[in-house]
Structure 1
Amino acid sequence: MKSKNIIVTGASRGIGFEMVKILSNQNHQVLALSRNISTLNELQETHKNITALSVDISETKQLEELNNFITNNYKSFDVLIHNAGAIVNKPFVETSTSEFLEVYKVNVFAVAALTKIVIPYLRQGSHVVAISSMGGVQGSMKFPGLSAYSSSKGAVITLMELLAEEYKDQKIAFNTLALGAVQTEMLAAAFPGYIAPNSAKDMATYIADFALTGNQFYNGKVLQVSASTP
């Protein structure tokens, strides 16, 4: 497969970190974004096709700096994977407005803002993939304590559907993967003690392949990727 320029957010741990390894081993050029890139530094030394940047995508100033970096270093992108996520696990009445806002800033607003930055660099055949959750799918089983998280994941599904419609004439695809239980730190925060049937590496392998090829078959879709929902 021809080398592609790919952005992965939330790249320092879990599914995001595994995706960076998989995609770089396939000789793609990976721009790996995360607030803390300490885990990516060693990987970056052995994989010259990885560029790791410390960026808080929920902060406007840091997004402006990222925009400048992209302008100076890239002409186009083939794939954008919105993997970064934030979660609060609290009863609804105990979840403050500021906590709701922090979750939405990462899970929704940052997705919109980063997509807006990258849009000018996308071209026919480019693919934007948002990682959502089964908790954000209408009609799926819901769990107490995840009002901010699950509602934000529902919002990003709708955002991707709207962008797919808006950019269909440019042949840029927007899809969402709604994940079930995957063994990550975020799962541990939501469901302490639960053991998921899929590892971060397993799911990263699936997502990486979908990001590279799924736009040939899907646009504006939400695919439920769930062997188990706690």
Structure 2
Amino acid sequence: MIAPKRILITGASKGIGFALTKRLLSQGHSVIAVSRSTTDLELLAQKNDHLAVIRMDITEDLSPLVEHAKNLKIDHVVNNAGYLVNKSILDHSDEEIFNQFKVNVIAPMRIVRHLIPYLSDDASVCNISSMGGVQGSAKFPGLAAYSSSKGALSILSECMAEELKERNIRCNALALGAVQTEMLESAFPGYEAPIQAAEMAEYIAEFVTVTSRFYNGKILPVSVSTP
């Protein structure tokens, strides 16, 4: 039996984040769900006292999250929020490039940095990366900014693991393959991924609460595709 944990999830309002929130709550854990859109999360919170909802843009002021965390000890952080624009590098605007890096790599760095004082004695960070950011994996036109930002997130995970190990904080990245989410459907209309959001959420929940204790500083591919 796994002892109940307090777990922070960004990008928790839909897709993998929402499915992960529901999965962890069903296992008896407490969840701090962070998102810019919180309608569905607030409805879920009405039925579960173990869900705290924070409406916030993770690329801007983090004080709402810090204020909430001040009287808590957070056991696991899941940096799940992601932003993807499917567009040729020749057609990307500067703003689209910057925003993908702000959401996908800078925000996770800032969140962990701000939350260090409020993490438990055996905490972990799980950064949700992408197979597109793994060297040697299949690459796709239109994803240069997204994939490179996820590659940066993976390397950030290795660096954070090294810097935080003396605090007994582990950090790993899960490099996901294609998962059927709203973000994927928006970027690739009509494409059907081999994995559903709820299936991936089940895997991530198990990794975060159980098996992550066997890893630190690792970039772990989670994909049925080759290469």
TM-score, normalised to structure 1, is 0.94
Moved over 3 A (4+): none
Q: Which residue of 2 aligns with 1:36?
A: 37
Q: How far apart are residue 169 of structure 1 and its match?
A: 2.1
8 Å contact 1:181–1:229 — kept in the other structure?
no
Which segments of 5 or more consecutive residues in structure 2 lack a partner in the other structure?
none
Q: Which residue of 2 aligns with 1:7?
A: 8
8 Å contact 1:123–1:171 — kept in the other structure?
no
Computed over aligned residues only, the root mean square deviation of the Cα atoms, in angstroms, reads 1.4
Distance 1:224 1:66 in 2: 30
Is 2:126 the counterpart of 1:129?
yes
Aligned pairs (5 A) from 1:80-159: 80-159=77-156
Residues 116-125 or 25-34, more deviating: 116-125
Q: Which residue of 2 aligns with 1:203?
A: 200
Q: Which residue of 1 aligns with 2:222?
A: 225
Aligned amino acid, residue 106 of structure 2:
F
Distance 1:2 1:66 in 2: 24
Q: How far apart are residue 42 of structure 1 and its match?
A: 1.4
Aligned amino acid, residue 169 of structure 1:
E
8 Å contact 2:13–2:38 — kept in the other structure?
yes
The alignment partner of 1:126 has SS state of strand
Residue deviations 1:65-101 (CA, integer Å, cap 9, x gap)? 3212222x42x11100000000111110111111111
TM-score, normalised to structure 2, is 0.96
Distance 2:86 2:49 in 1: 38
Q: How far apart are residue 185 of structure 1 and its match?
A: 1.3
Larger helix share, 1 or 2: 1
Q: Which residue of 2 aligns with 1:26?
A: 27
Aligned amino acid, residue 78 of structure 1:
D
Distance 1:125 1:88, change over 3 A: same
The alignment partner of 1:93 has SS state of coil
Distance 1:38 1:226 in 2: 31
Q: How far apart are residue 124 of structure 1 and its match?
A: 3.2
Aligned pairs (5 A) from 1:175-186: 175-186=172-183
Distance 1:172 1:214 in 2: 15
Distance 1:144 1:229 in 2: 17
Paired residue for 1:213, among 210, 213, 218? 210
Q: How far apart are residue 162 of structure 1 and its match?
A: 0.2
Q: How far apart are residue 26 of structure 1 and its match?
A: 1.1
Is 2:59 the counterpart of 1:58?
yes
Distance 2:104 2:176 in 1: 14
Q: How far apart are residue 192 of structure 1 and its match?
A: 2.2
The alignment partner of 2:210 has SS state of helix
Query: How many positions carry a matched residue from both structures?
Result: 226
Q: How far apart are residue 167 of structure 1 and its match?
A: 1.4
Distance 2:98 2:226 in 1: 26
